[in-house]
Structure 1
Amino acid sequence: MTSPSCPTATRLYEKGTVIARDFDYDEVPGLLEQHPGAVLWLDLFAPGPGDLQAVAEQFTLHPLAVEDAMTDHERPKLDRYPHHVFLNVYAVDIATEDSETRFGKTEISAFVTPRALITVRKSPSDTSKFVDRWDATGDLGGTDGVGFLLYGLLDVVVDGQYAATQRLDAAMDQVEDPLLEEGGAPRAIRMKGIHQRKLLAALRRAVAPMPELVSQAMRTDLDLVDATLKPYYRDVEDHAQHTLDEVEHLRDRIDQLLQADTAEQGNVLNDTTRKLAAWAAIVAVPTALTGYFGQNVPYPGYEKWWGFLVSSALIVAVSVALYAFLKRRGWL
């Protein structure tokens, strides 16, 4: 039997208890044969086509599912094949560093066979969260080990998505007040709000399919979830739906904040335009009257060489002062 050359992690569970861990892939057939009631967790990190092909032959994985596991950026989904179930999910994380909000996600593909949960990760991530969850809920593995492993995987993914949503909500608080300030927010704040809206769109793509995905996993014809596990799957489904509702709420919130800022900028522009129009009308009256009557009276320096210098200096000084004033007000 050909062994995968990519980094792997292995664990063997029997009735929710770990009976073997960190063993070579070559030992898998023998361990499964020695422990008929045990189930396997096999994790493959960045496998190549040959690595997955070796596993596919051992566990009768469908070629289309193997192709999906090798393809980046597959949508979250759950597909049923003759000998296994294939699902694709995203573990997400949002962190704030130096007042900048960053979004990260890890695509996780999983094959659920009668005796194994095989996960495929295309980028680095912390699998200890899955292991800790399985260890903490080992009493659920007494009847259906594979369903118990899948529950732990989905629960950790959904909890991570909800935590990311909460962190994004907290980051949004930092831009809410500046966006609602009188006169409109500075451009840096507006760009931060637009960036957060982009993060929400990326987060929603990972979160939106999860309630339906968990619901499909509970289908009776899949034989993945028994009566003991069903309440726990329903709890995961409820958390997934709650996370989606939070994302939708945040999307509406940031859209309304950006619209309010745009409206405030429009109000300021209208007020400025009205003032400029009023001053233009005031200046236009004397200009029109003096132009109509052709008034051209002597002034200090009239027909003198230094009069030209004084008028030129006044023009330059007034223009520079007006430019500095408008620049300070942010109009230029």
Structure 2
Amino acid sequence: MARTRLYRHGALESEDLPVREVARRLRDGDVMAWIDLCGPSQDELAELAEELGLHELAVEDALHAHERPKLHQYDTHCFLSAYAVRLDERTGRLRHAELSAFVTRHALVTVREDDRFDVDLLVRRWDESPELAGSGVGYLVHGLLDCVVDSHFEAVQALDEHIEHLEDLVFADRPDDVDVQRRALSLRKSLVTLRRVVLPMREVVNGLMRRDRELVDAALVPYFQDLYDHVLRATEWTESLREVVATIRETQLDIQGNRLNLIMKKVTGWAAIIAVPTAITGFYGQNVPYPGSGEPWGFWVSTAAVLLLSGGLYVTFKQRDWL
């Protein structure tokens, strides 16, 4: 179902009117409207495009999924695409909701492929600042992008917490290397996806603030500047986390290498200790006459030699931290 809102003179006048009725009322110069279409057909969107004068290339982009976050300027309107994201706490995977929007002089038309984007949150965001509605469509666009960028911030913050937990796993006494590797690769994949949707938002927000578009008035300038600052912070945070995950992976490999060297050092030390009784007992086990052969003192001499030499090697290796 389509959701609509109609504003007149900066005040909310009505909600959930039919799309055709909203398009008809937009012919008055003192109104602005929001039209939301969830999973529209090509004919439905084409009909609205004809009514509002939307460019066919923009309509085509809105109907095709997996568009890059971007902002395009046409003669009568702007077209932007963006992604709201959410991190699945159980799997650590990033879920995204694609959103396309047509920004005309008096209307904001949002197009969604499904209901993964929280439209109720968007409506609440607008209702929290009704005093800005007099600024026109820029007020609606700001609320929309504010929801999108906030989702980026929440996702990168959640990823940061997951990475901190991963650091604790790496330095655990008995780490599960397979689990650490799986988590690291999953987080790295999520960060790559997040970077793809966050990085282009700088161009989107910066492009909307251009004065020749006449979308952002003096009252909205501080809000868009704050939005742009949030985009930069989310971008920098994402880049830093990507470096942290790479560092964690390198640290894990270094720890595994050091642990293997320590194990090999201990194994070599014990092998040297075991070699002493093996050599002595092998010597006294020869089938030829030798000093002490068949005599009790020969047994005691060999036993004493095993104990003294093995004990001496153990003490020496222990002092040098080889065991």
Q: TM-score, normalised by structure 1?
A: 0.79
* Corresponding position: 1:234 with 2:225: yes
1:133 to 125, 140, 144: 125
1:67, CA displacement in angstroms?
1.2
Contact 2:72 2:79 in 1 (8 A): yes
What is the alpha-carbon distance in structure 1 between the residues aligned to residue 148 and residue 287 of structure 2?
83
Structure 1 residues 30 and 58, CA, compared in 2 at 3 Å: closer, same or farther? closer
- Evaluate the alpha carbon distance shift between residue 284 and residue 67 of structure 1 in structure 2; reply closer, same or farther with a 3 A threshold: farther
Q: Which residue in the other structure is 2:101 paired with?
A: 110
The Cα shift of 1:80 comes to 0.6
For residues 223-253 of structure 1, the C-alpha deviation after alignment (integer angstroms, 9 at most, x for no partner) is: 1111221111101000111111111222222
How far the C-alpha of 1:183 sits from its partner, in A, is 6.1
Q: Distance in 1 between matches of 2:280 and 2:68?
A: 72
* Matched AA of 1:203: L
Question: C-alpha displacement at 1:207, in angstroms?
Answer: 1.0
Return the alpha-carbon distance in structure 1 between the equivalents of residues 65 and 7 of structure 2. 30
The one of 48, 62, 71 equivalent to 2:41 is: 48
Q: Structure 1 unaligned segments of length 5 or more: list them.
A: 1-6, 298-332
Is structure 2 residue 42 aligned with structure 1 residue 22? no
- What is the number of equivalent residue pairs in this alignment? 287
Show the counterpart of 2:317.
Answer: none
The separation in 1 between residues aligned to 2:209 and 2:20, in whole angstroms, is: 32
- 1:101 Cα deviation from its structure 2 partner: 2.4
Secondary structure of the structure 1 residue equivalent to 2:6: strand
Moved more, 129-138 or 230-239: 129-138
State the identity %.
Answer: 42
Counterparts of 1:294 and 1:76 in 2: how far apart (Å)? 81
Mark the runs of 5 or more structure 2 residues left unpaired by the alignment: 289-323
| Deviation, structure 1 residue 87 | 0.4
Q: Secondary structure at the match of 1:96?
A: coil
Distance 1:296 1:258 in 2: 58
Structure 2 residue 55 is the aligned partner of structure 1 residue 62:
yes
| Change beyond 3 A, Cα 1:296–1:158 | farther
Cα distance in 2, alignment partners of residues 113 and 122 from structure 1:
21
Residues 39 and 104 of structure 1, relative CA distance in 2, 3 Å threshold: same
SS at match of 1:134: helix
Pairwise CA distance, 1:267: 0.6
Deviations 1:54-85 (A, max 9, x none): 11111111111111111111111111111110
Q: Is 1:225 aligned to 2:219, yes or no?
A: no
Question: SS state of the match for residue 128, structure 1?
Answer: helix
Shift of 1:287: 7.4
Q: Is the 8 A contact 2:71 2:203 kept in 1?
A: no
Over the aligned positions, Cα root-mean-square deviation in angstroms equals 2.4
* Residues 296 and 138 (structure 1), Cα distance of their counterparts in 2 relative to 1, 3 Å cut: farther
Which among 171, 187, 193 is matched to residue 196 of structure 1?
187
Whether the 8 Å contact between 1:183 and 1:264 is mirrored in structure 2 is: no
Show CA shifts across 1:136-189 (max 9, x none).
1121121x3111111111111111211121122222222221112356543213
Cα distance between partner residues in 1 of 2:59 and 2:6? 23
Name the TM-score, length of structure 2 as normaliser.
0.81
Q: Distance in 2 between matches of 1:90 and 1:140?
A: 24
In structure 1, how many angstroms separate the alpha carbons of the residues matched to 2:174 and 2:254? 10
Asked which structure has the greater CA Rg, the reply is: 2
Distance 1:245 1:281, change over 3 A: same
Preserved CA contact (<8 Å) 2:98 2:112: yes
Distance 1:179 1:284, change over 3 A: same
CA offset at residue 217 of structure 1?
Answer: 0.6
1:213 matches 2:204: yes
Q: CA deviation at 1:288?
A: 8.6
